[in-house]
Structure 1
Amino acid sequence: MDYILEPWPWYVSGPLIAIVMFLLLYFGRTFGMSSNLRTLCSMGGAGKRVAFFDFDWKAHRWNLTVVLGAIVGGFIAHHLLSNPTDIALSQQSITALNELGFKNAGKSLLPDELFSWENIFSIKGMLILIIGGFLVGFGTRYAGGCTSGHAITGLSSLQLPSLVAVIGFFIGGLIMIHLIFPILF
Structure 2
Amino acid sequence: MDSILQPWPWYVSGPLIALTMAILILLGKRFGMSSNLRTLCTIAGGAKAADFFKFDWKAQRWNLIVMIGVLIGGYIAANFLTIDDTVAISSNTVNKLNALGFHSAGNAYMPTEFFANEAFSNPKTLFVLILGGFLVGFGARYAGGCTSGHAISGLSNLQLPSLIAVIGFFVGGLAMVHFIFPLIF
TM-score interval, normalised by the smaller of the two chains = over 0.9
1:178 aligned partner? 178
C-alpha separation between the residues in 1 aligned to 2:22 and 2:75?
26
Q: Structure 1 residue 34: deviation in Å?
A: 0.7
1:134 equivalenced with 2:134 (yes/no): yes
Extract unaligned runs of 5+ from structure 1: none
1:11 aligned partner? 11
AA partner of residue 71 (structure 2): I
C-alpha separation between the residues in 1 aligned to 2:85 and 2:67?
28
2:82 aligned partner? 82
2:156 aligned partner? 156
Q: How many residues align?
A: 185
2:166 aligned partner? 166
Q: Structure 1 residue 165: deviation in Å?
A: 0.3
**What TM-score, normalized to structure 2?**
0.93
Alpha carbons 2:104, 2:113 under 8 Å: kept: no
SS of residue matched to 2:5: coil
Alpha carbons 1:32, 1:149 under 8 Å: kept: yes
C-alpha separation between the residues in 1 aligned to 2:26 and 2:85?
41
**1:48-67 matches, cutoff 5 A:** 48-67=48-67
C-alpha separation between the residues in 2 aligned to 1:125 and 1:98?
16
AA partner of residue 26 (structure 1): L
Displacement over 3 Å in runs of 4+: 1-5
1:108 aligned partner? 108
Percent of aligned pairs sharing the same letter: 59
Deviations 1:2-58 (A, max 9, x none): 889321111111111111101111111000001111111110001110111111111
Alpha carbons 1:4, 1:83 under 8 Å: kept: no
Extract unaligned runs of 5+ from structure 2: none
Q: Structure 1 residue 129: deviation in Å?
A: 2.2
AA partner of residue 177 (structure 2): I
C-alpha separation between the residues in 2 aligned to 1:2 and 1:74?
18
Deviations 1:49-70 (A, max 9, x none): 0111111111111110111111
C-alpha separation between the residues in 1 aligned to 2:143 and 2:2?
46
SS of residue matched to 2:106: coil
- Would the alpha carbon gap of residues 3 and 130 (structure 1) be closer, same or farther in structure 2, given more than 3 Å must change? closer
C-alpha separation between the residues in 2 aligned to 1:86 and 1:71?
21
Task: Please give the root-mean-square deviation of Cα atoms over the aligned residues, in Å.
Answer: 1.8
1:38 aligned partner? 38
SS of residue matched to 2:81: coil
**What TM-score, normalized to structure 1?**
0.93
